[in-house]
Amino acid sequence: MGRRYFGTDGVRGRVGEAPITADFVLKLGYAAGRVLAGSGAARGAGGIGGAAATGRPAVIVGKDTRVSGYLLEAALQAGFAAAGVDVLLSGPIPTPAVAYLTRALRLSAGVVISASHNPYEDNGIKFFSADGNKLPDAVEEAIEAAIDGPIGCVESRELGRARRVDDAAGRYIEFCKSSFPGALDLRGLRLVVDCAHGAGYHTTPHVFHELGADVVPIGVSPDGLNINDGCGATEPEALRRAVLDHGADLGIAIDGDGDRLVMVDGDGRVYNGDELLYVIVRDRREREPVPGAVGTLMSNLGLEQALGRLGVEFERAKVGDRYVLETLQRKGWRFGGESSGHLLCLDCHTTGDGTISALQVLSALRRSGATLAGLCADLKMYPQVLVNVRIERGFDWQSSAALASAREQVERELGGAGRILIRPSGTEPLLRLMVEAPEAGLAERMARRLADAIGGAS
């Protein structure tokens, strides 16, 4: 059955337009609450007001700093309450913090109101299961099936209740610090930490400061409208400039909901998710077996080759951290990520966490005494060229003889020293072409040859 509302990372869209409207989110909260209640879920937060104390399911609702969070939080809370589900409200807090608190407080589910790296006009709703993972497909399908039903209400005595979790940020800060080796600290390091004016503004800088670093925080003045605006992991130029201006050793940037990571060294060089995943895996590989790691179809060929030289198998999943996680779980591996900075260290957390991922990179630097550039010296990243080709709707690109012929010619010219990825856009009539080659000029020529075979590029 095709999904109507849930994408790879929950429900997302522009606020005020379907499905991110107050009435829909109210229905979503009620439907999710009824599914949880019907499943017999009875995990709760004990004396904080969870199921152990009341007999009702309990969920935690967190959000990022978008102004629309107030609206959607109220709608969700009302829907859950009508379904007889207790709600714990954390206020602004990173997405991975909600995953952690759901487990730590023994709750039935966790809910995050966020559109991650998107601008403030967008927002979304995503769910975590009781064990801190993304909801299983069957549960999402059950919620979708219940959304279009009528909204009812349990008896007054069974209505869900809401309360604030005042120590949510502190609990999460301590959890992050616990992922850093107890024998190490960050004394002597000056770090610029860019929180994208997002959910990590009052947690992430404290983690590094409490471990001993001299922290220069930026992107920590949210006003509801400036999340991800010219800052954070999606726009690291602000971090790069701040590192150079402050003479910092390193820069750390997360995105609006705190699950992505980009880093900058003291020379102003930016390191993306592929490079940081390599640093983490290389460090772990020196101390324990690491049978494999997972990337995506967009992960750089240089990462795959460098991990191969370490004896670490590499597997590619579809684009999206959900698919990286599914592949890791299927293989029984622990480390994976995307070029964009979603990194998974399953020995530390159940989901991607920009702060915890940064701590794993910092622990590798501390243990080795090397620089980021030094740890990445054996990683030769291939230039990637991306070209969007506009196509007519319904165009069967997989049956195009011209494209097949051009692809054969390009593969022959690359001679195994490069990679081609062709995939359709999920939202526009575009075909996305990506070519990797040892030289940028070669990659550009090969990408244009493929585009010309279809009829031109945008």
Radius of gyration of the chain from its Cα atoms, rounded to whole angstroms? 23
Q: Please, what is the end-to-end C-alpha distance for the chain in angstroms? A: 34
106 token code pair: 């023994």
Integer angstrom CA distances of residue 109 from 57, 209, 251, 398, 410? 9, 31, 34, 41, 49
Is 116 marked active-site?
yes
User: Cα(120)–Cα(66) distance, rounded to whole angstroms?
Assistant: 6
User: Cα(280)–Cα(284) distance, rounded to whole angstroms?
Assistant: 6
Residue identified by tokens 């940028």 is: 440
396: CB partners within 8 A, 6+ apart = none
Helix (H) / strand (E) element for 250: namely strand 250-253
Task: Output b/e per residue, 185-207; b: 16+ Cβ within 10 A.
Answer: ebeebbbbbbbbbbbbbbbbbbb
User: Cα(29)–Cα(43) distance, rounded to whole angstroms?
Assistant: 18
Polymer length in residues for the chain: 458
Is residue 416 left, alpha or beta, with left meaning phi > 0 and alpha meaning psi from -120 to 50?
left
By the 8 A CB rule, do 177 and 39 touch? no
By the 8 A CB rule, do 124 and 64 touch? no
Cβ-based burial of 244 (10 A; exposed 0-12, middle 13-18, buried ≥19): middle
Query: Which is it for the CA torsion 80, 84, 88, 94, positive or negative?
Result: negative
- Please identify which of the residues 116, 179, 339, 363 carries the catalytic annotation: 116
User: Cα(18)–Cα(368) distance, rounded to whole angstroms?
Assistant: 51
Q: Catalytic residue numbers?
A: 116
